[in-house]
Amino acid sequence: MNLTLKIWRQKNNTDKGGFKEYKITDISEDMSFLEMLDVLNEQLSTKGEDPVHFDHDCREGICGMCSLYINGNPHGPQQTTTCQLHMRSFKDGDTISIEPWRAKAFPVLKDLVVDRSSFDRIIQAGGYVSVNTGGVPDANEIPIPKSIADLAMDAAQCIGCGACVAACKNASAMLFTSAKISQLALLPQGQVERKIRAENMVAQMDAEGFGACTNTGACEAECPKGISITNIARMNREYFSAVLSSDTV
């Protein structure tokens, strides 16, 4: 495959940045998208040029690091992570546009790399269980209905890649935040701190500068793990319940 790549290049977070065009040839359709970028970077390094900076780690669709906006879609044309996207999804002669996530809360560090530490701060605000739960109990000692366990596990699949933010026209982080709140609010271990968790995590989300939910469902459609927007409804219930309880105290 011979391709034309239009890649966003930006030296640092103060640089204006812009697209630069590259021609790349003899790309196998069996390569992953990141392997294709590796080939490009080898060519650039051989020429003494600065390689394209992009995030990656596990390359197994688990870590959520591979945050690329490809041809107008987070992670590309399929509902998967960029590292799991293969070049057979494109055609010989295609022009591929590659950008970083675009959000105020995700400032560009260099080229395609963005700072997603805002997600970390949301988790630090309450996305954990700090109460003393004792030792690890047998699986049957804390009975949890399968339907509830399934919902909690579905929410826990969120890898924090930020595709939901990139897909939303308001750069909302409500799908991410709601998944992290839901996975604990649904389980017995998370009940003790559920109110303060919801209040603190929503407050931190707003403080980071993420936008409001648009209710268009673009986040769910682009999420590589298929996190449901029903989690947003659950987060809203958790939050308003916590706020009303606080007001009555």
Q: What is the mean pLDDT of residues 5-25?
A: 97
pLDDT tens track for 193-244: 999 999 999 999 999 999 999 899 999 999 999 999 999 999 999 999 999 9
Domains of the chain: 3-41+49-110 (3.10.20.30), 117-248 (1.10.1060.10)
Confidence of residue 247 (pLDDT cuts 50, 70, 90): low
Confidence of residue 248 (pLDDT cuts 50, 70, 90): very low
How high is the pLDDT of residue 138? 73
Confidence of residue 249 (pLDDT cuts 50, 70, 90): very low
The answer to whether 74 touches 222, Cβ cutoff 8 Å, is yes
Residue closest to 101 by CA, chosen among 65, 53, 66, 67? 67
C-alpha separations of 32 from 35, 98, 105, 162 in Å: 5, 15, 28, 20
- With a cut of 90, say whether residue 182 has pLDDT above it: yes
Tell me the pLDDT of the chain averaged across its residues: 94
pLDDT tens track for 16-42: 999 999 999 999 999 999 999 999 999
How high is the pLDDT of residue 160? 97
In this structure, what token pair is assigned to residue 170?
């308001």
Residues 6+ apart with CB under 8 A from 191: 185
At residue 78's C-alpha, the angle toward residues 75 and 79, to 5°, is 75
Residue type, 61: G
pLDDT tens track for 114-143: 999 999 999 999 999 887 756 766 767 778
| Torsion (CA) 82, 85, 88, 94 in degrees, nearest 10 | -20
More confident residue, 134 or 50: 50
How do strand 95-99 and strand 3-9 relate by DSSP bridges? parallel
pTM attached to this predicted model: 0.93
Q: What is the mean pLDDT of residues 64-83?
A: 96
How high is the pLDDT of residue 141? 74
